Amino acid sequence: MDILTEIENRRALRAIAPEPLGEDQIERLLRAATLAPSCFNYQPWRLVAVTGDRLPALREALTEGNKWATRAPLIVVLATKPSLDCRSDQGRDYATFDLGLAAMSLMLQATKEGLRAHPIAGYNPVKAAKAVGLPEDYTAFNLIIVGKPGDESLLAEWQLEREHGARQRKALSEVAFRDSWDRPW
Ligand SMILES: Cc1cc2nc3c(=O)[nH]c(=O)nc-3n(C[C@H](O)[C@H](O)[C@H](O)COP(=O)(O)O)c2cc1C
């Protein structure tokens, strides 16, 4: 059996068109995110879908290397705080874990709809939080840059190489094990 098509097809691509997305489509992406599992069903994700007046300030928060993202018609700010989710021993704070699950759900739905949905950490989190009015105790943990496929004019040389290159992954033997840590896959 093959890997699911959306999992195979999802790529963190950067050539994105400025064309606006439909309201229904944006809502579907948000709903997909909220269908993710979470510890005790606490649903710690808070998702700010930015398409309007806050977009310029949010774009200002992006790092130089993420200039390509300024074209996107939609940026989803994924925010949370530890107290919204399970907090267990050994540093097992599940808020960001569950936020990641929601992010993947959103990205797979976007992929299914022919969109690009690219998660980024390269931004000033304080500026990003301010841009969308997050309460003080929330962190803007990730931004997902979303849009239809577009042209490549904002991409740096190395980004163009990635855009067209094969996907890079560690071998299963480096990251997976059979029964015990001392038995690599
Ligand atoms: C938490 C996180 C932060 C990332 N930050 C950035 C970023 O700031 N800029 C960027 O261009 N890509 C960023 N990426 C995308 C990764 O570089 C990309 O997912 C990785 O190279 C694997 O490629 P693939 O998603 O196409 O398989 C980020 C991805 C994740 C999950």
> Is there a contact between 98 and 81 (Cβ–Cβ < 8 Å)?
no
Residue 1: per-residue pLDDT: 93
In a domain, 121, yes or no: yes
Residue 166: per-residue pLDDT: 94
How far is the C-alpha of 26 from the C-alpha of 50, rounded, in Å? Answer: 10
Nearest CA to ligand 1 atom 21: 12
As for how many domains the chain has, the answer is: 1
Residue 102: per-residue pLDDT: 99
In a domain, 62, yes or no: yes
Q: What is the mean pLDDT of the segment spanning 138-153?
A: 97
Question: Residues of the chain with pLDDT > 90: what percent?
Answer: 99
In a domain, 183, yes or no: no
In a domain, 180, yes or no: no
In a domain, 138, yes or no: yes
Cα separation values, 62 from 7, 11, 141, Å: 27, 20, 13
Residue 36: per-residue pLDDT: 98
In a domain, 114, yes or no: yes
Domain containing residue 166: CATH number: 3.40.109.10
pLDDT band for position 7 (cuts 50, 70, 90):
very high
Q: Is 125 in the pocket of ligand 1 (CB under 6 A)?
A: no
Q: Which of 7, 62, 63, 120 to mutate to test the pocket of ligand 1 (most atoms within 8 A of CB)?
A: 120
In a domain, 184, yes or no: no
Stated pTM of the model: 0.97
Q: Is 167 in the pocket of ligand 1 (CB under 6 A)?
A: yes
Give the residue numbers spanning the domain of 88.
5-175
In a domain, 185, yes or no: no
How far is the C-alpha of 99 from the C-alpha of 146, rounded, in Å? Answer: 17
Q: Is 106 in the pocket of ligand 1 (CB under 6 A)?
A: no
Query: What are 42-84's pLDDT values in tens digits?
Result: 999 999 999 999 999 999 999 999 999 999 999 999 999 999 9
Q: Is 47 in the pocket of ligand 1 (CB under 6 A)?
A: no
Q: What is the mean pLDDT of the segment spanning 134-149?
A: 98
